[in-house]
């Protein structure tokens, strides 16, 4: 009598709700580490001079104090709670859904890119209000005292923007923000997944593997997304009444095409570690869930 062959165990997945929660928590934890770099990057993008990252950092500390490097942290955390929660949650959900529909076969690089674009665009739209508050809060210290907005925290910023400028201003620069997110996520999520698969043949599963894949992903993402990011930053910090077209044409006319990569070092030193930390935290949360549940 033939023995019944046991069915292979079904591959386990993290529930969809936790995919979103883990994505947001991972991004928020990474932001707590790299917020000073985000502030320096924003100041450099808004500056017309050719100062180095170290010069800008030194000026901020001497004029505003060391703790000012964490100005806008509340907005950065809200941005991660909205944008990163949405984009990583949607990406992982779409990724797993694809595998389920295709007999466990992971999507190829092209499909990963499409999934990244989709997830990033939705996440960026959701996160634009926090992005506007973040840009304004991190830029405030460079203005003369009488011109500063002096937002107390991200919630004060959002309520004042609604009261003083109207609710639609919370989505100022939404188009370049979504465009940037599409570029970032097409590069970041797809290259991370692809690099992870390549490195897996040489590096054991664990933090080292996640680190290697994240650094590759961060570099590609920085090169591809900087031009859209600086345009987004200028638009969201623009004076009242200045159109988006005026902001972009003024930037290109006065500072040249290469100004679109201004602040490359702080951008990469911010995006690289943030990418590394976000994916490491996310991978550890996923692993802990699968191990202990």
Higher pLDDT, 1 or 25: 25
User: In CATH terms, is domain 16-43+51-292 a member of 3.20.20.70?
Assistant: no
If pLDDT is split at 50, 70 and 90, which confidence band does 1 have?
A: very low
- Cβ atoms < 10 Å from Cβ of 96: 16
The confidence score (pLDDT) of residue 12 equals 65
- The least confident of 30-34, 48-52, 258-262, 284-288 is 48-52
Per-residue model confidence (pLDDT) at position 61: 92
Domains of the chain, by residue range, sit at: 16-43+51-292
Q: Is the pTM of this model over 0.85?
A: no
pLDDT score, position 10: 52
Crossing angle of helices 109-139 and 174-199, rounded to 10°: 130
Most confident range, picked from 14-18, 215-219, 273-277: 215-219
Q: Among 58-72, 172-186, 266-280, whose mean pLDDT is lowest? A: 266-280
The predicted-structure confidence for 93-124, as pLDDT tens digits, reads as follows 898 889 888 888 888 888 888 888 898 899 99
Q: Give pLDDT tens digits for 189-224.
A: 778 888 888 998 898 887 788 888 888 888 888 888
């Amino acid at each position: 009598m033939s023995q019944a062959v046991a069915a292979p165990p079904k591959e386990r997945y993290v529930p969809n709700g936790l995919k979103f929660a883990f994505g947001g928590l991972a991004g928020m934890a990474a932001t707590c580490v790299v917020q000073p770099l985000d502030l320096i990057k924003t100041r450099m993008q808004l500056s017309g001079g050719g100062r180095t990252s170290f010069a800008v950092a030194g000026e901020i500390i001497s004029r505003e104090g060391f703790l000012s490097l964490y100005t806008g942290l509340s907005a950065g955390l809200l941005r991660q709670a909205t944008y990163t929660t949405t984009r990583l949650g949607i990406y992982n959900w779409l990724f797993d859904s694809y595998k389920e529909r295709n007999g466990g076969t992971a999507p190829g690089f092209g499909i990963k890119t499409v999934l990244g674009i989709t997830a990033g665009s939705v996440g960026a739209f959701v996160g634009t209000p926090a992005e506007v508050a973040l840009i304004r809060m991190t830029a405030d210290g460079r203005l003369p005292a009488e011109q500063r907005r002096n937002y107390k925290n991200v919630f004060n910023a959002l309520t004042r923007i609604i009261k003083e400028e109207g609710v639609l201003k919370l989505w100022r620069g939404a188009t370049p923000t979504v465009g940037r997110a599409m570029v970032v996520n097409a590069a970041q999520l797809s290259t991370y997944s692809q690099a992870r698969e390549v490195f897996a043949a040489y590096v054991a599963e664990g933090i080292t593997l996640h680190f290697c894949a994240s650094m590759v992903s961060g570099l590609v993402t920085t090169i591809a997304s900087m031009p859209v990011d600086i345009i987004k930053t200028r638009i969201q910090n623009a004076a009242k009444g200045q159109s988006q077209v005026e902001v972009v044409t003024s930037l290109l006319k006065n500072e040249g095409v290469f100004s679109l990569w201004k602040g490359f070092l702080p951008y990469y030193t911010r995006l690289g570690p943030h990418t590394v930390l976000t994916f490491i935290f996310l991978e550890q949360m996923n692993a802990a869930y699968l191990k202990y549940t």
